[in-house]
Amino acid sequence: MPDDKVVRVKNDLYQKAQDLAKADGIPIAEAIAKLVEQGGAGVPSACQLNAFDAILREQGLTPPRRPDWVWGVTDVLPIQMLAGTKLEPYAKARTEAELRCAIGEELYSKLVAGELTEEEKSEVTILTETPAAEP
């Protein structure tokens, strides 16, 4: 479900990790860990964490002990780096949780079912085009 905008935001965060590593003279892994501890682009809301947990359970996956940490990892690392890894389903669940919380459960259900009216489609487009907040 990730689109180019999501990939671009995640790539920007990875660039921040690279810049932090260079500026502090630390390995990229340590820089990523710092960004993850800071919550990536931002601390997830209660809605997002609850939706993340519910989505993982729906998929038969055990939610992580530290969902905030997994959220941060999937926030900082580019989606291409997570493809084919054990974190890929968590990254997809995170993207879905963000979308569910941004547009609400009712619109999300209609979106998945392909039942959005033209007015609802424009509303969803406006809500999902809002740029991510920078820390």
Directed axis angle between helix 28-37 and helix 67-76, to 10°? 130
CA angle 128/94/40 to nearest 5° reads 90
Tens-digit pLDDT profile for the chain (135 aa)?
444 444 444 456 677 778 888 998 988 778 777 776 665 556 788 898 899 999 999 999 988 888 877 887 787 777 778 889 888 999 889 888 888 888 887 777 777 778 777 777 777 665 555 444 433
* Cα atoms found within 13 Å of the Cα of residue 82, Cβ hemisphere only: 25
Distance, CA of 90 to chain centre = 9
Give the model's pLDDT for residue 131: 46
Domain boundaries, the chain: 4-128
Give the model's pLDDT for residue 68: 78
Give the model's pLDDT for residue 56: 92
Which helix (H) or strand (E) element contains residue 5? helix 4-24
Give the model's pLDDT for residue 126: 59
Give the model's pLDDT for residue 42: 64
Report the distance separating Cα 125 and Cα 61, nearest Å. Answer: 30
Give the model's pLDDT for residue 28: 76
